[in-house]
Structure 1
C-alpha cells in the first residue's frame, strides 16, 4: 500500500506534509510500502492511497473537499480503515 501526499509549494506546506508522512510512518510502519511527498501548486493538498499496482489511487483527504487540513487522528483513522479495518489504534480510537 502506498500513500502520496500532494502539497502546494507556493503555500509553503512542505513541513505540514512531511509531518503527516512522519506520523503515518510512525503509526503504520512496515504495513506501508511507501509514503511519498509530491510537490504541487495552486493550494492543492491531497492524501491518496493506492492499495496495489492495478488499482487507481483513492482520495483519503482533499483540503478543499474536506474543509481544510485533517486532524492527525482523523487521517490515521481513514488510512487504517483502508489498510486494516480491524487494527486498534489505541488512544486514537477512544
Structure 2
C-alpha cells in the first residue's frame, strides 16, 4: 500500500444524528471540484453531534479545522467549504461561480446580451456568468437546458 498523498480532508460526522449523507455530499462536492488537487477525502464516524471538517496539508503538520458545527454554528454552505479548502490547497485558484461574478462583470465590461449571475428567470440552477455557455448552447443563444 502506498503512502498517503496530501492534502487530506477529513469529515468527522455524528452517526447518532444520522449525518452520513450530509458528510458524503460534502465529500463528493470536494472531490468533484478539486479532483487531483486533493490526496484524500475521508469520512470519519463519530458521536455527540460532531460535524468537523479538517484539512492536513502534509503528513508532518497538524490538521487545520476548516469547519466545526459547534463553533461555527450549523453546517457550512457548500461554496464556503470549497473556498476554505481552496484557500489551503491553491489560494490563487478561481472557483468560477462559487467566487461570484467575474472581474469583467465588476468592471462593467459584460458583453451585451450575455446573462449575468442571477438574471435568468430567477432560477439559481440556470445562472450563467459572463463568458460561460450552457451545456449545449452557442454564445448569444439559449439551448433547451438554459431555458
1:89 corresponds in structure 2 to: 95
| Greater strand fraction, Structure 1 or Structure 2 | 1
| Greater helix fraction, Structure 1 or Structure 2 | 1
Q: Give the TM-score of the pair, scaled to structure 2.
A: 0.64
Could you list the per-position Cα deviations for residues 43-74 of structure 1 after superposition, in whole angstroms to 9, with x for gaps in the alignment?
00000000000000000000010010000000
The structure whose Rg is larger is 2
Matched, 1:45 2:30: no
For 1:7, which of 8, 13, 16 is the aligned residue?
A: 13
Secondary structure (helix, strand or coil) at the match of 1:17 reads helix
1:23 corresponds in structure 2 to: 29
Hey, which bits of structure 1, 4+ residues long, moved more than 2 A? none
Equivalences for 1:55-66 in 2 at 5 Å? 55-66=61-72
* Relative contact order higher in (CA < 8 Å, ≥ 6 apart): 1
Query: 5+ residue gaps in structure 1?
Result: none
